[in-house]
Each structure stands twice: as C-alpha cells, then as structure tokens.
Amino acid sequence: MQRVFPTFWETYLNSFVKMDFGRERQIKMNALERLLKADAKKVTEKPKKNIEIPRLTKLFNEKFEITVQALDTELLSEITESHTEYSKSGNKKKANNFAIGTDIVVNAVVEPDLRNKELLSHYKAATPNELVTKLFLAGEIGKISETITELCGVETTQTEIDETIKN
C-alpha cells in the first residue's frame, strides 16, 4: 500500500531541516548585510583602553592612566619574530619576552607619547624602549603588554603557550 501523505514524524523532521537551512542562510546574509551597511571607519578602528598604573597614581596622589590601542597584526607579528630565536630546523628555540613586551608597549601606548623628545630628555632615555624600562616596573610592563595583546584579539599570552609546551 502506497502512502499519499507523510507521517507525522516525517513532516516534523522535514520542517526542522527546512528551518535550519533557512536560518543558516539568513544568518550568513545578515552578517554580510551588516558589514556592508556598517560605517567602515568604525569597524576598522583599533580598540583603545585606559590602564591605571597604581604605583604612579600613589606617587602623584592622583589617578595616573596611560592609553593604549591595539596593534596591527603585521606589526605584532614583526615584534614577536624579531625577538625570537629559531633552531636550524625552524623550531622555536628562545623568545625574549621582556623585549617583546617592551616593544609592544612602545608601539601601542598613545598617551603619553613615549617618543616625545622632551619626555625622553627629562628621563635621560636614549630610546623609547629605554624610557619604558625607566617609567615602568617589569610587572607593569607585563600587565600593559598583556592588555594590549588582549585588545589585539590574542587571548593566550606567549608565557601561557610556553608553559603549555613545557608541560
């Protein structure tokens, strides 16, 4: 005997499949439409964040903050590569995390301007990197650098990756 009408379960399952496919197509279209309708300047603007330096806040008796912004992917990669040594086989041999952190801070701090000649002269620093090491303690540099990498969308720090590989 041939069935003319689908069973309840066939109808139920088919409606589910049709809804899922329809929704998936709609989500993709909405994402594309959103990007096309968005203000390109706002979407591509690098995120910024203010970071308080508690030690300097205490020293100056008023809140002391610096402003940082995310780095371009290419610059972040360049900084990391320039301070990483590789073996002949291409495996990572050693990374100078302090130099990486200092370079990240120099390139991402927008306020104060760490390249300002007057500021460099006042602290007798020959380079912005030297100024960073004079203004901030090692732990502060690490925290600032970590905040910047988070702004860049990097959720795992190099130290965490190194620890995972070690273990």
Which burial class, exposed, middle or buried, applies to 144 when counting CB atoms under 10 A from its CB (0-12, 13-18, 19+)? buried
pLDDT for 165 beyond 50: no
What's the average model confidence in pLDDT over 94-104? 94
Percent of the chain at pLDDT > 90 equals: 65
What's the average model confidence in pLDDT over 91-113? 94
- Interior angle at CA 24, CA 23 and CA 27, nearest 5: 85
Q: How far is CA 23 from CA 19, 30, 36, 104, in A?
A: 6, 10, 20, 42
CB 119 within 8 A of CB 38: no
| 3-state DSSP assignment of residue 95 | strand
Taking the C-alpha atoms of residue 7 and residue 1, their distance in angstroms, rounded to an integer, is: 14
CB 115 within 8 A of CB 130: no
Q: Are strands 109-111 and 84-86 parallel, antiparallel or unpaired?
A: unpaired
- Assign 167 a pLDDT band (cuts: 50, 70, 90): very low
Taking the C-alpha atoms of residue 132 and residue 135, their distance in angstroms, rounded to an integer, is: 5
| Single pTM value for the model | 0.73
Q: What's the pLDDT at 164? A: 47
- Assign 91 a pLDDT band (cuts: 50, 70, 90): confident
pLDDT for 58 beyond 60: yes
Q: What's the pLDDT at 5? A: 57
- Helices 158-166 and 97-108: crossing angle in degrees, nearest 10, is 160
Tokens encoding 99: 């130099």
